Amino acid sequence: MRWCPSSILHLLRCVRLRLCTRRGKNRLPLWIRELSAYMKLLVQSLYFNSLTDSDVIFDSVFEPVFWTVDYVTRWFGLVFVCLVVILTSSIVVIAYVVLLPLVLNTYSPPWIAWHVCYGHWNLIMIAFHYYKAAKTSPGAPPTEKNDIPFVAVCKKCIMPKPARTHHCGICNTCILKMDHHCPWLNNCVGHFNHRYFFSFCLFMTLGCVYCSISGRNLFLDAYNALERFKHLDVEKPGVPVTGMGLLIGLLPPGQVQSQKYTHNDKSKLIRCYYHLFSNIFFFVKTHYQTAAPPYTFKDKMIHKSIIYMWVLTSTVGVALGALTVWHAVLISRGETSIERHINSKETQRLAKRGRVYKNPFNYGRLNNWKIFFGVEKTSHWVTRVLLPSGHAPHGDGLTWDIFSVKKDLIPV
DSSP 208-272: HHHHHHHTHHHHHHHHHHHHHHHHHHHS-------TTHHHHT-S-GGGPPP----GGGHHHHHHH
- Residue 174: enclosing H or E segment and its boundaries? strand 173-175
Q: Is 201 annotated as catalytic?
A: no
- List 173's β-bridge partners, or say none: 168
Separation of alpha carbons 13 and 5, rounded Å? 13
Of 129, 140, 135, the closest CA to residue 200 belongs to 129
- List 189's β-bridge partners, or say none: 180
DSSP 23-82: HHHTSPPHHHHHHHHHHHHHHHHHTSSTT--HHHHHHHHTHHHHHHHHHHHHHSHHHHHH
Q: Euclidean distance between the first and final Cα of the chain, in Å?
A: 90
Q: Where are the alpha helices (DSSP H) in 76-215?
A: 77-94, 100-106, 109-135, 194-214
Of 182, 188, 208, 211, the catalytic one is 182
Active site residues: 182
